[in-house]
Structure 1
Amino acid sequence: MTPDQTFSRYVRFSLYGFILVFIYYLLADIYMPVTPQSRIYHPVVQMAPQISGRVTKVFVKNNQAVEAGDVLFELDRQPYKIALEQAQLALDDARLQNQRLDTQIMSLNAQIKAAEAKLHEQKLLKTRGESLFQQGSISEQELETINANYSASVAAVSSLKAQHAEVVLARGEQGEQNLAVRHAANQLSQAKLNLSYTQVRALRDGVVANLQLQEGAYAAKGTPLLAVVASDGDLVADFREKSLLHTHEGSKAVVVFDSRPGETFSAQIESYEAGVSAGQLNANGTLSATETSNRWVRDAQRQRIHLTMSQAANVLTTMPSGARATVQLLPESTVGQWLATAQINVISYLHYIY
């Protein structure tokens, strides 16, 4: 065989090999897709104080494990203790004021009874005076005096009853349902709550991350000062849209992690993401912007799926948030599963190199 024939044979074999690899790639991308675009995400809880104040104590260190309810840091409690005492004084004052009003109501009741008794007396005098005037026993001036005293008594009773109604209205309901007491009690509860807010506690189990907080720093209400990375992890993978054509929730998968080369873990599809940021339209009052591209073949859109690892759930909890992984989806057929498993095993061993 001449050198030209040998070269021609190598070219043909290379071409056949390329065609076979290309066909395998097309079929594999549809029936047993694999993606290196996969990560572990842990929920991150930003810890921000609900009140403002100076940081007096920091009880945790960076990368320290904490449980829900553990105190992370504490703010200056003195201003809020004073506010609590002031609220307690306001509640005591409201109760004392109600006692004063109760005493005033009792006094007005006594005054009303006395005024009504005098009014009854003036009414009798008025009736007797009118009778005596008809008999000519008293003068018209004396009758006018009697009538004036009667009118004054009527006015006095009406005035006392008006004062009584005003005081009763100001007093309101009896006991703790009184409006003034309820308002003061509400202020006291808020003061107690604010005092409890001086201790910022972890909302869930996790690990303290990126701790930069120092004692003496001023903490503003609602401003995050540290983060707690939760232990439970979420494994997500981004596939090209056409690669998910033959998959569904519950489809089997195999996962390998960059940090654990040579190991494979079983998984399954838990759910599909409802969309991606590229599919979100903002109603901002401007006209829509069309997509432009100078490429003849545009980049394929990727969709995100969430996977579970029921047989090795502890693996997700021990890995840091952002850890990279490669996900291989398994087809339904036995042959396809064998090929897909072999493919992901090759990738897992390649992680020893890169």
Structure 2
Amino acid sequence: MSDEQLAAEVAEKESVEKNNRVKKITNYLLAAIVILLLFSIVSDRIIPITDQGRVKAYVVPIKPQVSGQVIDIKVKPNQLVKEGEVLAVLNQSDYKIAVAQAEQNLEIAGQNVGAQTANIASAQARLTSALVERQNVQVQAARVLAMAEKGVVSKSDADKARASLATAKANVLNAEADLDKAKQQLGEDGEENSQIKAALLALEQAQINLERTEIKAPTQGGVTNFSLSEGFYASAGQPMMTFVSTDDIWIEAYFRENSLGNVQAGDPVEVALDFLPGKVIKGRVTSVDWGVDWGQNNQAGQLAQATTQQGWLRQTQMLPITVEFDRSEAKGLLRVGGQADVIVYTNDGFFFNAIGKLWIRLKALLSYAR
């Protein structure tokens, strides 16, 4: 065999071996892609994860119920306050005068019917305070009970709200009983006297208006978005500042529709907040929303709107779930509207859960860079 034939044969063998190596590498890559694709599909239903999470809370505009000049501002922007803490004080001069005048009118009305009215005024003041307290408790209880129905707060919180409301109602009944007793001391004529009734109503209104000059925090939370200064005239019903309640904070996370098949209320959750890089907080699913607005609410008298979406795969629909998490781990560091990565563990499988825990911690570390 000549040297040329031998060289040709060697070159042919090398070409075959090279082609075989390329085929092997290609097969390995295709196998890896198939395995990763299958893993992604399965894991998306067992440990669904999303980066479309937001910290949510009740945001309430603080509006005074009476008008007046601001004479004292008790808080600073973005300060945390406790429930019932005074935020600002309006000028009370006119309202104190109104109370004093109402008390004098009540005294005069009592003198007209020949009776003492000191006990009535005291009992009326107690009733006024009890009515204001009941009103505040009713608002807080209604909010807590509404969240309890959605599963955002625990049943024990709902029971506490009901108990507080029952106590407030009982205090009103006791105050009304004391007022009735004081009225009876006036005698039959005094109790039915229209002057006494009118004077009592005027006194009650004056006392309520005086109490309303102290603007208080409805719950524990923070105040923001205000630039008040002493001398500012606050008008009744006009917002003075924004209040963010920290009593009820949750995360609203949006997942792909086809990844929620196994998600149920009570499933454990881990959350990586962008505001807390490197830290993972535990929580649980409290509810999965029933639906979302998909922009097809056609009005009567108009033709239906046909979707223009085209392509082999339609656009993914995102559905929200509500997540309750351990706020004690992030106390004082939460920001409403903050972004979060959320992963849900739908079963107790060790393999997928271990991978999910590693992945969410990697996402938490990446928060340092994004």
TM-score (norm 2): 0.66
1:259-298 alignment runs, 5 A limit: 259-278=275-294, 290=305, 292-296=307-311, 297-298=313-314
Aligned equivalents of 2:198 and 2:301: distance in 1?
48
CA-atom RMSD, angstroms? 3.1
Match of residue 337 from structure 2: 322
User: Where does residue 259 of structure 2 map in the other structure?
Assistant: 243
The count of corresponding residues between Structure 1 and Structure 2 is 281
Aligned 8 A contact 2:275 2:333 in 1: no
Is 1:217 matched with 2:232?
A: yes
| CA contact 1:231–1:318 (8 Å) conserved in 2 | no
Equivalent residues in 2 for 1:148-297 (5 A)? Answer: 174-232=189-247, 233-278=249-294, 290=305, 292-296=307-311, 297=313
**Cα distance in 2 for residues equivalent to 1:220 and 1:252:** 47
Q: Counterpart of 1:249 in 2: which secondary structure? A: coil
Distance 1:6 1:259, change over 3 A: farther
Residue 334, structure 1, aligned to residue 332, structure 2: no
Q: CA deviation at 1:220?
A: 1.6
Task: Mark the structure with the bigger radius of gyration.
Answer: 1
Structure 2 CA distance for partners of 1:270 and 1:317, relative to 1, 3 Å: farther
When residues 308 and 280 of structure 1 are mapped into structure 2, their CA distance, relative to the original with a 3 A threshold, is farther
SS in 2 for 1:231: strand
Judged with a 3 Å threshold, the aligned counterparts in structure 2 of structure 1 residues 13 and 78 are, in CA distance, closer, same or farther, namely: same
Per the alignment, residue 132 of structure 2 pairs with none
- In 2: Cα distance, 1:302 partner to 1:204 partner: 33
Q: Is the 8 A contact 2:102 2:202 kept in 1?
A: yes
Tell me the CA shift for residue 197 of structure 1: 1.0
Instruction: Give the TM-score normalised by the residue count of structure 1.
Output: 0.69
Counterpart position of 1:158: none
1:330 CA displacement: 1.6
The answer to whether the 8 Å contact 1:65/1:206 transfers is yes
Task: Give, as a single letter, the amino acid of the residue that structure 2 aligns with 1:206.
Answer: G
Equivalent in the alignment of 1:164: none
| Inter-CA distance 275–98: structure 2 relative to 1 (3 Å threshold) | farther
Change (3 A) 1:220 1:299: farther
Q: Secondary structure, in 3 states, of the residue corresponding to 2:206?
A: helix
Provide the secondary structure at the position in 1 that maps to 2:40. helix
Residues 204 and 27 (structure 1 numbering): CA distance in 2 closer, same or farther, change over 3 Å?
same
Instruction: Name the CA distance, whole Å, in 2 between partners of 1:14 and 1:83.
Output: 85
SS in 1 for 2:95: helix
Q: Is the 8 A contact 1:173 1:179 kept in 2?
A: no
